[in-house]
Structures are given as structure tokens and as C-alpha cells.
Chains A and B, each alone.
Chain A
Amino acid sequence: EDQVTQSPEALRLQEGESSSLNCSYTVSGLRGLFWYRQDPGKGPEFLFTLYSAGEEKEKERLKATLTKKESFLHITAPKPEDSATYLCAVQGAYNTDKLIFGTGTRLQVFP
């Protein structure tokens, strides 16, 4: 069964304190791994898609990496506006319609 586990559940950082969020996955043939950001009371905002092990993508202070078993979202020198819930999802090769979501990591960045 396809499964996604995110850790930690919650993370509190001081502004400027870099860290990483983890997304471990089990899927029958990975078609794509997606990272989204969700602010309270809003829909998820697309960040990255990763397709194969070794792939990396960057956007401002965020960098996503992918291995055969997990993905990391690295946050460098975070700012308070980076506070949000970060969701990871996978799309399997045999059930291409659905995204399987993790439960997310709630990030709080304090000034």
C-alpha cells in the first residue's frame, strides 16, 4: 500500500536557524513526489515536483531533494513568513490519478 510519513509533526525555529523536514514514502513505482505549502485557512500552494532519485530543486530559501526512500525539504535561514504547514505527497505509477499525502509538518519561525 502506498504510504507517506512526514517528520517532525511540528518544528519551531528561530529566524535564521536552518533545518530540514523529512518525507519518507512507500509507493509502487514513483511517478512524482510533490511538496506543497499550506497556510491556515487556505488551500495548498504548489512548491516542487521531484521525479527521480538524486534530483534537487530550489526556490528562494527552500531546497527539495529526493532519494529512493525519502525526500527532504531544506530551509536555509528561515524567516517568519516561512511559517506554514508543509505537505508532501506522492503519485504512484499504477494509480496516476491520486496523490497520497502525508500529515504534514507545522513549521513556526520566530523572530
Chain B
Amino acid sequence: GAVVSQHPSRVICKSGTSVKIECRSLDFQATTMFWYRQFPKQSLMLMATSNEGSKATYEQGVEKDKFLINHASLTLSTLTVTSAHPEDSSFYICSARDLSSDTQYFGPGTRLTVL
């Protein structure tokens, strides 16, 4: 089956620093990738849709200057949390859409803790 990786799996940073999370589709090309945020015992909240070679589309209420998304190739999208604060601590999950099956496959997630 289609595999999506995320790196790092866990990161702890100080308030005010920036953190970059990578999402890769390992065995298929993904023109569209998605970034989600998940709070404890809650479902996934879509933050933005990332399209290769163009600007990301952000959901209402998501600050585009705080959550920078770059989709530079058909297998890689990155999410940078800029000037992170404790309230940004969360579980971030990416997904990639495999066009051959029109199915989103998810990465394992990144646990971000901002001190």
C-alpha cells in the first residue's frame, strides 16, 4: 500500500523558535498533500491543502504567516511553525492523495511540544 512518512516524529522546542516538519510520499507522486492538526481525543482538523508548485490553501482561522507550507516537489511538502508558542503544541499529521486511487494516505504524525 501507499506509504507516507513524516519527520521528525517528535520535537520539543523553546517558545519563539521555528520548527519544520517534512511529509514525504514514498512510493507515489502526490500533487496534493494536506496538513491536519489533532487535539487529544478529538478528530482531525484540516489546516491547509498543499498543491505542488503553487500556494497552499488555508482553512478559515488558520494563520498562513504562522504555518508556512511549501510543496516543492511531487513527493515532499513541509510545514514550518514560525515563532512557536505553547498553544501551538499539538499532534500534526500530513496526508498525501494518491491520484490512482483518489485516496488520502496519512503519515505517522509529529508530536510538537513548545516549552
Contacts and interface: CB of A to CB of B under 8 A. Distances in A.
Contacts of B97: 97
Interface of chain B, helix or strand or loop or mixed? strand
A34 interface: yes
A99 B46 CA distance: 9
A69 interface: no
B104 interface: yes
B32 interface: yes
A44 B44 contact: yes
Contacts of A58: none
Count class of interface residues, chain B: 20 to 34
Contacts of B4: 43
A46 B93 contact: no
Contact of B43 (A32, A42, A46, A103): A103
Contact of A43 (B42, B102, B103, B107): B107
B60 interface: no
Interface in B23-61: 32, 34, 42-44, 46, 49, 57
Contacts of A44: 44, 93, 106
Nearest to B44: A101
B85 interface: no
A46 B40 CA distance: 20
B101 interface: yes
Contacts of A99: 34, 46, 104
A102 B44 CA distance: 9
B111 interface: yes
